[in-house]
Chains A and B, each alone.
Chain A
Amino acid sequence: MDAKRREVLKTGGGVLALAAAGIIRPGEALAQEWNKAAFETKSVAETVKALGGSGSTPSSAIEITAPDIAENGAVVPVAVESRLPKTQAIAILIEKNPNTLSAEFDIPSGTDPFVSTRVKMGETSNVYALVIADGKYFHAVKEIKVTIGGCGG
């Protein structure tokens, strides 16, 4: 127990030192925004709007890597890679889930326009990769068939 206490204190000291050196600004560390409206949307068009777009254009420069058939809808691996210049953000949308938007990633310069994660799907659905590049909205779509839905778990 003593060892654990020391560990906690040590970590605390480290964080304070970083803040004092100006590496982590207190405001920055606390500013955790979450776009509630976007995560409550029920269609692809609504999600695009909630993420600040007026519509999106299909693009062959966006690649979705995911299985054609997902046996377990609770764990569906989805990777998205964009070859669009100035890719700023990548979002994963699942058309037939109770809420369309699953995840949104901001891609700063220096980070590859690529993300890979795992999502839940309630049923067979089109999955959209929405990419914001140079202020414009683009998407690719792939249907993933689900054998056992994963929204109850």
Chain B
Amino acid sequence: MAGDKVDVKVLMAHEMETGLRKDAKGNLVPPHFIRNVTVTHGGKTVLSAQWGTSVSRNPFLHFRFKGGKAGEKVTITWMDNKGEKRTDEAVIAVPA
């Protein structure tokens, strides 16, 4: 937290394959990338994003929202073009 704002920094483990890259045999590697990211706090969406293939591998995301308190949870969900999903929770911490 910084003042009354919650600083959210996320690193997502994902290959973010563009579909343009060729493997060692010269075949195109099919696209595999995160398309949707949703971050919620207290049942309210604080950020939602749509991504294409040009977001870097192992995506990084940083944003800030108001109204969060230390000890409350922030939930991050992503879904990729193959329908794979991952949800993680983090507890808002007070800066040391």
Contacts and interface: CB of A to CB of B under 8 A. Distances in A.
A38 to B, nearest CB: 8
A42 to B, nearest CB: 12
B62 to A, nearest CB: 4
B43 A23 contact: yes
A117 B79 contact: no
Nearest to B83: A32
A48 to B, nearest CB: 15
- Please indicate which of the listed interface residues A33, A34, A74, A79 has the most CB atoms of chain B within 10 Å of its own CB: A34
A108 B52 contact: no
A152 B44 contact: no
A106 B49 contact: yes
Contacts of A104: 49-51
B33 to A, nearest CB: 10
A16 interface: no
Interface in A98-132: 98-99, 101-108, 110-112, 114-121
B64 interface: yes
A44 interface: no
Contact of B54 (A34, A35, A99, A107): A99
Contacts of B59: 117-118
B62 A110 contact: no
A24 interface: yes
Given A108-B46, A112-B5, A119 B63 contact: no
A58 B60 CA distance: 27
Given A32-B79, A112-B64, A118 B56 contact: yes
B54 A120 contact: yes
A102 B50 contact: no
Given A32-B79, A34-B50, A99-B53, A108 B63 contact: no
A39 B52 contact: yes
Interface of A: 23-24, 32-35, 38-39, 74-77, 79, 94, 97-99, 101-108, 110-112, 114-121, 150-153
Interface of B: 5, 16, 18, 20-22, 35-36, 38, 43-57, 59-67, 79
8 contacts: A74-B56, A94-B54, A99-B52, A106-B48, A115-B62, A116-B60, A117-B55, A120-B56
